[in-house]
Amino acid sequence: MSFFIKESGKSKTKNRKRTVAEKSQVKKKIKRQRNEEIESDSDESENERKVDDHIEASESEEETVQEKRLRLTKLYLSQLEEEEREKNELKEIDEDAVAHRLKDEILEQRGKLQRKVAETLVAPSSDDIRILRGHKLPLTCLVVSSDSQFIYSASKDGAIIKWNFETGKKIKVIAGGRKGTEETHIGHTTHVLALAISTDNKFLASGCKNKVIHIWNPQTMDRIHTFTGHRDSISGLAFRKGTHQLFSASHDRSVKVWNLDEMAYVETLFGHQDSITAIDSLTRDRAITAGSRDNTIRIWKIPEESQLVFKNQSGSIDCVRLINEEHMISGGEDGSVAIWSIMKKKPIVVVPKAHDNATSSEGGLPQENWISSVAALHNSDLVATGTCSRDSFVRLWLCGAGYRSLTPLFNIPVMGTVNDLQFTSDGRHLVAAVGQEHKWGRWWRLKNAKNSIVIVKLNRKGEM
C-alpha cells in the first residue's frame, strides 16, 4: 500500500510541476498573442492613417486638376473673345475697304475720282532712266500692256517691236516692208503712226500712212485681220476700256468704229474740219479727238449719235488724253497745255508756254515749244507732257483740286522729239517714244538725238 502511495505522491508532484510549466507557457502564449494583437492593432492604425493620407492627397490632386481646367477654360474663353474682337475689327476694316472701293468706283464712273499721287513722287535720278534702242527711224508711238509686262513700239521704218518690260530685250520684231509689197508683206510698208491694245491684252491694233489697220495677236504677234476704209493716214487708235470696240482716227477728218469680236466695221463719224491728230477712250461708250488746226476737241457720244465741241482760241490742238471720264488734257503747237471739263466748252486751266525754258529758234526749230505728246495717269492728279525742241524734256505736273490748276513737279531730260507718252497702269513708270523727227513730218531733224524708248521709274517718298 505504501509503495503505491509513494508512487502516487511523486506522480502528483511531477504533474504539479508540469501543470505549472504548462500554465507558464500558456501565460507566455497568451501574452505573446496579446502583444501580437496589440502590434496588429498598431499596424492597422498606421495603414488606416496612410490610406487617409492617400485619400487626402488624392482629393488635393483632384482639386488642382479642377483649378487647372478652370484656368484653361478661362484662358480659352479670353482667346475666343480676342479672336472675335480681331475678327470684328478686320470685318470693319474690310467693310471700310469695300466701302472705300465702292466710293472710288462711283467717283470713277462719274468722272470725279482724283487719287493723290503726284505729291508722293520724288525726282528720278539718272539710275531711274532706261533706254531701249532697236528702231532704225524715229519712233512714232507705243503702248504698254495692262499687266506692264510688255511694250509695243512702232516707227517710221514700218516696224513693230515687242519688248520685255523688265529685261528690255526684244521678243518679236515685225519688220517694215518695201513699198509695193503690201499684198505679200505681213506687216506695214510705210510709217506706222498709231498703236492700241485692248484691256485684256487680246488684240493689238496698228495703223499706218497707207490707210490700213492691222489687228495682231499680242502674244504671238501673228496678224489676225486687216481693216481698210479710211481715205488718208491712220493718225490715232483707241480701244474702249474693257471691250473689243476699236476707234480709229484719220487725216481724212473721220472717226470709224470697229467691232473686233466680229471683225466688222460699225460706223463712221464726221465733224472735224481738219485732220484728226489724236483719239482716246475710257469706259463710257464714247471717244474724244483732237482736230489740229480746226482748234477743237470733240467728244463723240456713240449711243446718242451726237458730239460735243470744245473750242480752243489760242491755236491748233495736236494731242489729247482723258484723265478720267470728265476731264482731259491737251497740248498744242503754240506750246500751251490745257485741262478741260466735259461740262465747259472752254479750258478750265491753260498754261501757256508750258516748256518755256527750252525754247529755241536754231536749226529751223519752232519759236515756241510744240507740245508733241501728253499722258495722264487715269483717275489721279498726275499728268505728263513732252515737246519737240532741241532742249527737249518730259515734264511732270500736279493737277490741283478739281483739276483747276497745273503745277510743274520736275523735268526729265530727253534728247529728241517726244512723239508719244504713256504711264503704266500701276503708275510706277512713264514710257516715252523718242525720235529725231516729229511723227507728222520732217520739218527739222535733231541729229544728236537717238531713236529710242525711254523708261522712267517713278519713285515715291520713303521708297528710296
Q: Tell me the whole-structure pTM to 2 decimals.
A: 0.77
Task: Say whether pLDDT at 308 is over 90.
Answer: yes
Give CA–CA dist 225/202, Å, rounded. Answer: 13
Q: What is the pLDDT of residue 58?
A: 47
In sequence order, what are the beta bridge partners of 385? 374, 395
Contact predicate 281/303, CB 8 Å: no
Of 215, 254, 260, give the one whose Cα is nearest residue 236.
254
Query: Rounded to the nearest 5°, which phi and psi values hold at 36?
Result: -65, -40
- What is residue 323's DSSP assignment? S
Q: Kindly tell me if the per-residue pLDDT of 11 is higher than 50.
A: no
Pick from 279, 321, 319, 329: nearest CA to 300: 279
Res 37 pLDDT > 80: no
High-pLDDT (> 90) share of the chain, %: 61
Could you report the per-residue pLDDT of 65-117, keeping only the tens digit for each?
777 778 788 888 888 888 888 777 776 666 555 555 665 666 656 566 789 99
C-alpha span between 212 and 214 (Å, rounded): 7
Give Cα 15 to chain centroid, integer Å: 126
Q: How far is CA 60 from CA 50, 52, 66, 68, 360, in A?
A: 15, 12, 10, 13, 99
pLDDT of 315 above 90? no
How much of the chain, in percent, has pLDDT values that exceed 70?
A: 78
- CA–CA separation, 196 vs 201, rounded Å? 10
